[in-house]
Structure formats: structure tokens, C-alpha cells
Amino acid sequence: MTQLIIIGIYLLLLLGLGLLASRLFRGTSKDYMLASHSIGPFLLLMSLFGTTMTAFALVGSTGEAFKEGIGVYGMLASSSGIIHSLCFFVLGVKLWSLGRRYGYTTQIQYFRDRLESDRIGLLLFPILVGLVIPYLLIGVMASGTVINGVTEGAFTDTFAAHDYGIPKWLGSLVICGVVLVYVFFGGMRGTAWANTFQTIVFMILGVVTFFVISSKLGGLEAASQAVLEKHPSKLMRTITPKERETYQTSLKKWQAKAVAAYSAKNGLKRDLTAEEKQKALIAQDDRVAAAGVKLFDSNGKALSLSAFPKSNAWPKKAFDKFGSKVGHPNELLVPGDPTKGKKWTRKKALGVYKAKSWAPDEPHTLSKLKFLTYLLVPLSVGMFPHLFQHWLTARSASSFKLAVVAHPIFIMIVWVPCVLVGVWATSAVIDGRPLIASHFPPNAVLVKMVKDMTGPLLGGFLTAGILAAIMSSLDSQFLCIGTMFTNDIVVHYGGKDRFSERQKVLLARGFIVAIVAVTYGFSLLEPRRVFTLGVWCFSGFSSMFPLIFASLYWRRLTKAGAYASILAAIVSWVVLFWQSKFGLNPHYDVLGMMPVATMVASSTAALVLVSLVTRPPSEKALRRVFGPPGG
């Protein structure tokens, strides 16, 4: 309950901050959407950093490090330190200057002018909003998971189906509500203030979490040494022969168990055929092979289990097996006998079932080519609509300097502890038992570490820090989609003078609520790995990086070239996302490379080829971007 109270107080503080910012609101839509270009270097740094570091950075990086090891830092953190600042430097400052001169608030307004195409907005608007939705989803999903995980056992009778904690759906709903309120009242100024406050909170608490957890694990050295002994592969990017051998041994044991269970169930006392054996493995891993589905490839080799979807019946099987142990996590499993431990949560029952029944997790080597092509993923910041809007809030071009320099260092301060905590989680032991079993949901690793290794008071503060990181991205994304709808659709097509300033703000708020409702609906569906979903979302934005870059630095870019580039980007994104089973396969690649490489190559090729064979843009349009200031 202590954690719940602290989280509640923190959320109230945020609401207060939004209301305070609203007292400075000047009543105009420009003030609501761009804080009247009043944001100085420090606020700009904190709001840009807070916006780019979302659930992806804290919850996602810890979970991914738990699954894949330290390589995750190079894949996205150190590369982002180089690429993000590069985007701020080569795109942000220039777009800010154009925005100030020509009154742009959104990317679409800029592209309409640069490409002399009104309809480019109709193509870009649904794509940008469509790509922001999965980004929002990351935050909404993660907030529910975090709140539910940390409040387990907070209630005595209610929410039994949610381990006596706040249900995920309610946690996500509350977070959406709080962010909506402070965005509504505070607009961009409230968002920048809240981002700054929350960034400070999550950076400080992140470092505190790191030291508290390391101390509980016996110190920095002991925590890392345990990993070196048990899972050395997590400390590098290949698999050691010993770990591969361990995996093969456990896989063989598991296969024997699957075959025995299948034989017993079907009354077979002979050796199984290859088909029966494959069916046995599918059943043991709680997967389904629909009638008529091939179990073997064209060479007669058994298909990987990941080719078959998980059955929906496995949670029931888990509760049939371990249901008698499930109850309030503060009650003893055997009354009067504390040595037997406390009752299990439903999550624990599911986790133990998975660890005992499902195939062991196969360790993965990180491919060098995949690592190289990961460099393209952070290019997404060049096309994030919410970052474009943040860039335009800057008071002056030199306000960007601090953000350009400090961004990589801030990333390091946040990501290094998260990655280490994720890696330590693979080998952490409490009371002689592993803290986290195999198949543990990666999104919940950080929360589990915080909950099990800190007291209620500190746990509450640390949770507030995690939520701060999540909300500091949600707010900017909420605001930007409202801004885009108002400026690019309503005002653009309805006429500049048709709506009062108050009506414009109301329209922005209405659209925000609609999009948040849609995103919230999606969050109630089956969750994906935060990291995987994030990479897909970022890849979509990265695939449009060639367009924004060429629009600023290549005079020969034409309207047709831009259309071709956007279509190539989005078609390749949709096809590859579909092939990855809508993000369910976290190891999906294209010729050994990240899918983003194919997307960027397609959009660049379409942009260059079509631009070269179509009519160049007019001098007037080019003068706006390439001419001297005021020209």
C-alpha cells in the first residue's frame, strides 16, 4: 500500500504542475502548441531527452538485456548518442530556423511548402499518426505492467484476479488520464515543465535503484561475478561453448519429457515416429498445429516450434497445476509454517508453469551485420513528429547546443545501470533460489527487481521514477497528435479564420482523447515485448529519414520523389511487419540485417530515382529552404 500512496502523491504533483503551467497560458494555440518559442537550453535538453527516453529506455532496455545481454547498449544506446545528436544538429536547428521564419508548427506544414504539394499532408498524416500509436502503446502498456507489478498484495480482498494489486487496465487508464489532464491544462509549456521534472526524477531514482539493487546482490562485483559464472554469454555478444552445451543438455531432457508425456497420453509403448515426436514437442510447448498445417519443411526437417502459435489454454493448465498455491502474496502458504514461504501470485504460478513445461530459452548470438544495421534505427528521431514540435519550442538556435552535447551522456547515465540490472537479473539468487526464472516476461524484469530488492518506501519512489520516464514521452506524443490534427487537417482544410483560438485548442484536445482511446484499446490486447514493438515503430520513422534529410540538403528532391519515398517506406514496413508475425518474432531479420535496412534502402532508392526523372521544384519553393534567412 505504501507504494500505491507514493505513486498517488507523485501523480497529484504532476497534475499540480500542469495546473501551474496553465496559469501562464496565453490563450493562443501557438502558446498551447509551441509555448510561444520560449524554451531555453536547459528545458529544451530535459524535454528532448525525457521525450526520447520512454518505457523503451528503462523497462525495455532492462528486459532486453535480461534476454540478450549487454549488446543491447551498443545496439541502441551508444548509437543513439551519436545519431540523435546528429539529427538535432543537422535537422533540428535548420527546421527550427525555417519554422520560426515561416510559422510552421508541424512537419506536414513544412513538407507542403517544400514540396509544393497540398496532398502530401493527406498521405503523411495517417502514416505519422499510425506510427505514433505503437509508440504510445509502449508507454501505455508498460505503465499498466509497472503499476500492477509493484502494487501486488496492496489490497486485502479486491482485485484477486490481479494478484491483489491495481489491474493493468486500470493502471494504464490512470496514467493516460493524468497525462491527458496536464497536457490539456498546461499545453506545451506544461509538457516541457513536466518533462524536465520527470527527467530529473527518473535519472536520480534510476541511479539510486542501481546502487540499491547492486547492494542487495552483494555489491557491484558480486552481482557481475555471478553472471560471469552462470551466464557469461550475457556479458558479451556470443554464446560460450559451455552455455551452448548446457542448453543442448536441457533441450534433450525437455524433449524426452515431451515424448514421455505424449506417449502416456496416447497409450503408446513404442518409439514415436518423427511426426508424433514433432506433435509431442508442440503439445509440450503449449503450441497449436492446426489440422493440415505442415510440421516439416520441404527438406523433411522439423519446423521450429516458433512456427506454431501458442495455445490459449495454457494459463488454465497452469492454474490446474499450481492453483492450490495461489492466494494473497502476504499470506503464508502453510498456516503457521513460515519456512514454506508465502502464497504464490497468479503471475508466479504462470511463470513457474512456463519454466517447468516449456522448451528452454535458446541463447542467441548477436549477428555483426544485425548490430551494424541497428545504427539505422535511431535515425527515427529525425522524423518523430513530437520531436519536431519540441524543436520549434526553442527560444533560439543556440538553445540546441546543450541538448546536442549532453544527450549522449544522459543516455549513458540512464542506460548503463538499466542494462547492468537486466544482466544481473539472469543470475540473481535470493534465499538460494533464482530470482527470475526462464520465460519470465521481459517487460516485468525491472519491476520484479525493484519490488523484490527494495523496501516499500524506496520501491514506491523507484516506481514513480519509472512512471516518470514513461509519462515524459506520452505527454509530448499526445500533444503532437492533437497539434497535427488541428493544424494539418482542421485549420488547413477548414480555413484559418473559421475557428477561434479556443476552438482550435478544443479540437486538438478532442483528437488527442480519440487517439488515446484507440491506443488504450490496443493495450488491452496481447502484449508484445516493449523492445520489439519499439524497434518496429522506430524503424518506420527511420525509413522516412531520407525524405526529411533530402528536403533540407538536396535541391533536386521533387514532389513525385517524396511520394515515391513515403510509399516505398510504408509498403516495405507493412510487408516486413506482417512477415515478422506483427512483431511476435523478436529475432526476425532480412538477409541477416535488421528490417530497417531494407526500409531505408527502399525509400532512399525510390526518392533518388523518381526525383531524377521528374520535374525539379520551383525556385520559389527552393528559395524558402535554401535561400538566405528572410529571403
Partner 1 sequence: MKFVVCGLVVLLLVIHQDNWFWDNSHLVFGFMPIGLLYHAGISLAAGATWFLATKFAWPTDLEVSASDDAQGGDSA
Q: What residues between 433 and 492 interact with partner 1 by CB under 8 A?
A: 486-487, 491-492
Q: Which three cell numbers stand for residue 223?
A: 552481482
Place of cell 527552393: 622
Note whether 577 binds partner 1 by CB under 8 A.
no
Alpha-carbon distance of 93 to 625, in angstroms, equals 13
- Show the site string, 348-387: x = touches partner 1 by CB under 8 A, - = not: --------------------x--xx--x------------
1 binds partner 1 (CB under 8 A): no
Stretch touching partner 1 by CB under 8 A, among 332-340, 393-401, 516-524, 540-548: 393-401
Give whichever of 103 and 177 is closer to partner 1, judged by the CB atom: 103
Q: Pick from 51, 61, 79, 196 the residue near partner 1 by CB under 8 A.
A: 79
State the amino acid at position 260 in one-letter form: A
Give phi and psi for 165, each to the nearest 5. Answer: -120, 180
Choose which of 1, 5, 160, 236 interacts with partner 1 (CB under 8 A): 236
CB 412 within 8 A of CB 77: yes
Instruction: List binders of partner 1 among 407-436 (CB under 8 A).
Output: 407-409, 411-412, 416, 419-420, 423
d(CA 382, CA 541): 8
Among 96, 388, 541, 577, binds partner 1 (CB under 8 A): 96
Three-state DSSP state, 511: helix
First vs last C-alpha separation in the chain: 62
What is the distance between the alpha carbons of residues 273 and 262, in angstroms, rounded to a whole number? Answer: 12
User: Contact, 515 vs 136, CB < 8 A?
Assistant: yes
Decide: is 101 part of the binding site for partner 1 (CB under 8 A).
yes
The grid cell for 544 is 522516412
- Choices 55-63, 157-165, 405-413, 528-536 (CB under 8 A): range interacting with partner 1: 405-413
- Residue closest to 163 by CA, chosen among 447, 380, 545, 526: 447
Phi, psi of 591 (to 5 degrees): 50, 40
- Nearer Cβ to partner 1 (105/539): 105
Q: Is 63 in the site for partner 1 (CB under 8 A)?
A: no
Give the C-alpha separation, 450 to 150, whole Å.
8
Footprint of partner 1 on 522-551 (CB under 8 A) = none
The footprint of partner 1 on residues 210-229 (CB under 8 A) is: 219-221, 223-225, 228
| Cell 548518442, located at residue | 81
Question: What minimum distance in Å lies between the beta carbon of 206 and partner 1?
Answer: 15
By CB under 8 A, is residue 11 in contact with partner 1? no
For position 500 contacting partner 1 by CB under 8 A, the verdict is no
Backbone conformation region of residue 300, classed left if phi is above 0, alpha if psi is from -120 to 50, else beta: left
Out of 61, 233, 443, 519, the only residue in the binding site for partner 1 (CB under 8 A) is 233
Please report whether residue 612 would count as binding partner 1 according to CB under 8 A.
Answer: no
Examine residue 38 and tell whether it contacts partner 1 (CB under 8 A). no
Shortest separation between residue 401's beta carbon and partner 1, angstroms: 4
